[in-house]
Chains A and B, each alone.
Chain A
Amino acid sequence: GENVEQHPSTLSVQEGDSAVIKCTYSDSASNYFPWYKQELGKRPQLIIDIRSNVGEKKDQRIAVTLNKTAKHFSLHITETQPEDSAVYFCAASTGNDMRFGAGTRLTVKP
């Protein structure tokens, strides 16, 4: 089955800096790659997603890139703010079930 690796497990940045989180996946049939943000004690919430026919997608300060050949995808957050502090999960799906990375705890220091 699909195996998703996520790095780093923790990331600390200064407010205003950029943050990058990277994921790799194993199943070449995966074609949908969402990213979720989970604040303490709350549900994971979808923040951005990308499909395999697209190499990059941007939504304000958040962007995601996908390299299908290398089977890796990344989340980029620019101009980080303290409210970006949370755990971020990447995921990969073949169109049926979905597998998640282990998560990255992002801390943005004011």
Chain B
Amino acid sequence: NAGVMQNPRHLVRRRGQEARLRCSPMKGHSHVYWYRQLPEEGLKFMVYLQKENIIDESGMPKERFSAEFPKEGPSILRIQQVVRGDSAAYFCASSKQGAGYTFGSGTRLTVV
């Protein structure tokens, strides 16, 4: 079991570009969660998805950010027109129903 796979590990984008972060959950897990972590800070909830459905996106900014978890393929967190304040580590976690979250290694986004 390869665990939760996130890629890329590091992503550098210029201001105004788009960032796409990918997350493949553990085998058998149908729940995916995205969190943002600023340096020296905690894990801030962004969005919770199940296959083809967004269950809770209350932590995600209304503009420029979107997430999907299609029937086939990984979950994608998409940030359009990135700004310097988007620089952070983005962690994905997966679980079966509501327990045993396993985190991926994260994607470290740097906006220059």
B106 at the interface (CB under 8 A from A): yes
B91 near A43 (CB under 8 angstroms)?
A: yes
Q: How far is the CB of A51 from chain B (nearest CB, A)?
A: 8
Given contacts A1-B58, A32-B98, A93-B98, contact A98 B45 (CB under 8 A): yes
- Summarize B's interface: helix, strand, loop or mixed: strand
Docked Cα-Cα span, A100 to B56, in Å, equals 15
Docked Cα-Cα span, A15 to B42, in Å, equals 25
B104 near A43 (CB under 8 angstroms)?
A: yes
Interface range, B side = 20 to 34
Given contacts A43-B103, A46-B101, contact A97 B56 (CB under 8 A): yes
B103's closest neighbor in chain A, by CB?
Answer: A43
Tell me which residues across on chain B come within 8 A of A101, comparing CB atoms: 42
A96 near B98 (CB under 8 angstroms)?
A: yes
Number of interface residues of A (CB under 8 A): 23
B45 near A99 (CB under 8 angstroms)?
A: yes
Docked Cα-Cα span, A44 to B100, in Å, equals 12
B33 at the interface (CB under 8 A from A): yes
Given contacts A43-B106, A44-B91, contact A100 B101 (CB under 8 A): no
Docked Cα-Cα span, A89 to B106, in Å, equals 16
List residues of A (52-69) whose CB comes within 8 Å of B's CBs. none
B101 near A102 (CB under 8 angstroms)?
A: no
Instruction: Contacts A49-B99, A98-B93, A102-B42 known; list 7 others, CB within 8 Å.
Output: A34-B101, A42-B105, A43-B103, A46-B100, A46-B102, A97-B55, A102-B41
**A interface, CB within 8 angstroms of B:** 1, 32, 34, 36, 42-46, 49, 89, 91, 93-103
